[in-house]
Structure 1
Amino acid sequence: MKLTKISAAILLAGLTTTVIAAPDPNTPYIGAKAGWSHYFDLDFTDAGENNFSRNHLGAGAFGGYQFTPNIGVEVGYDWLGRANYSLKDEYTGKYTGQGLYATGKFSYEVVHDFDVYTRLGVYGWRSSNRVTDVAQGRDPKLVGRYNSTGVSPVFAAGVEYALSPSVATRLDYQYVPNLGKSRDIGMKPDNGMLSVGLSYRFGQGAPAPVVAPTLTPVPETKKFNLRSDVLFAFGKSELKAEGREALKQLFSELQRIDPDEGKAVVIGFTDRIGSAQANQALSERRAQSVVNELIGLGVPANLIEARGMGAQNPVTGSQCDNVSPRSALIECLGPDRRVEIQVTGLKTAESEM
Structure 2
Amino acid sequence: MKAKILSLSVIAALGFAVAAQAAVPETAYVGVRGGWAHMDMDTNDWASADDKDAVGYGIYAGYNFTSWAAIEAGYNFFDGFSYIEDQTSSEDFRVHGPEAALRLAFPLGPDGSDIYVRGGAMWATYKFDSSTKNYTAHEIAPFVGAGVQYAVTKNFGVRVGYDYYFNVVDKDGDPDTDIGLLYAGLQFTFGGSEPAPAPAPAPQTVTENFTLDAATLFPFDGSSLCEEGVKAVNDVVDSVNAKNIQNAAYDVKGYTDRIGSEAYNQTLSEKRAQAVADQLQAAGVAPEQLTVTGMGEADPVSTGCEGLRGNKLVDCLAPDRRVELSVTGEVTEAE
TM-score (norm 1): 0.50
Tell me if 1:109 matches 2:98.
Answer: no
Match of 2:260? none
**Superposed displacement of residue 82, structure 1:** 2.6
CA shift digits 1:40-85 (9 cap, x unpaired): 1x123x6241257711111110000011111111111111223122
Aligned-pair Cα RMSD in Å: 3.5
1:175-194 alignment to 2 at 5 Å?
175-183=164-172, 186-194=174-182
Contact 1:63 1:76 in 2 (8 A): yes
**Superposed displacement of residue 112, structure 1:** 6.5
Q: Structure 1 204/82 Cα, relative in aligned 2: closer, same or farther at 3 Å?
A: same
**Superposed displacement of residue 31, structure 1:** 0.3
Match of 2:138 among 146, 149, 152: 149
Q: Which amino acid aligns with 1:35?
A: G
Q: Which amino acid aligns with 1:127?
A: Y
CA shift digits 1:250-296 (9 cap, x unpaired): xxxxxxx933628xxxxxxxxxxxxxxxxxxxxxxxxxxxxxxxxxx
**Superposed displacement of residue 204, structure 1:** 5.1
Q: Structure 1 205/93 Cα, relative in aligned 2: closer, same or farther at 3 Å?
A: same
Give the fraction of aligned pairs with identical amino acids, expressed as a percent: 24
Contact 1:107 1:118 in 2 (8 A): yes
Match of 1:58? 56
Q: Which amino acid aligns with 1:194?
A: L
Report the secondary structure of 1:122's partner residue.
strand
Contact 1:76 1:100 in 2 (8 A): yes
Q: Which amino acid aligns with 2:52?
A: R
**Superposed displacement of residue 208, structure 1:** 5.1
Q: Which amino acid aligns with 1:126?
A: T
Report the secondary structure of 2:188's partner residue.
strand
**Superposed displacement of residue 209, structure 1:** 8.6
**Superposed displacement of residue 103, structure 1:** 0.8
**Superposed displacement of residue 170, structure 1:** 0.8
Contact 2:28 2:64 in 1 (8 A): yes
Q: Which amino acid aligns with 2:184?
A: V
Q: Structure 1 110/28 Cα, relative in aligned 2: closer, same or farther at 3 Å?
A: closer
Contact 1:53 1:83 in 2 (8 A): no
Match of 1:129? 128
Task: Flag as ranges the 4+ runs of structure 1 deviating above 3 A.
Answer: 110-114, 207-212, 218-221, 257-260
Match of 1:49? 47
Q: Structure 1 62/27 Cα, relative in aligned 2: closer, same or farther at 3 Å?
A: same
Contact 2:47 2:87 in 1 (8 A): no
**Superposed displacement of residue 345, structure 1:** 4.1
Contact 1:52 1:86 in 2 (8 A): no
Contact 1:23 1:204 in 2 (8 A): no
**Structure 2 unaligned residues grouped into runs of 5+:** 1-19, 207-240, 247-326
Match of 1:26? 26
Q: Distance in 2 between matches of 1:112 and 1:66?
A: 13
1:194-209 alignment to 2 at 5 Å?
194-203=182-191, 206-207=194-195
Q: Which amino acid aligns with 1:30?
A: V
Larger strand proportion of the pair: 2
Contact 1:97 1:125 in 2 (8 A): yes
**Structure 1 unaligned residues grouped into runs of 5+:** 1-19, 133-142, 213-217, 222-256, 263-343
TM-score (norm 2): 0.52
Number of matched pairs: 199
Match of 2:89? 91
Tell me if 1:174 matches 2:158.
Answer: no
Q: Distance in 2 between matches of 1:348 and 1:163?
A: 40
Greater relative CO, 1 or 2 (CA 8 Å, sep 6+): 1
Report the secondary structure of 2:24's partner residue.
coil
Bigger radius of gyration, 1 or 2? Answer: 2
Q: Distance in 2 between matches of 1:347 and 1:83?
A: 76
**Superposed displacement of residue 23, structure 1:** 3.4
1:1-353 alignment to 2 at 5 Å?
22-40=22-40, 42-44=41-43, 47-50=45-48, 54-110=52-108, 114-132=113-131, 143-183=132-172, 186-203=174-191, 206-207=194-195, 220=205, 258-259=242-243, 261=245, 345-346=328-329
**Superposed displacement of residue 220, structure 1:** 4.7
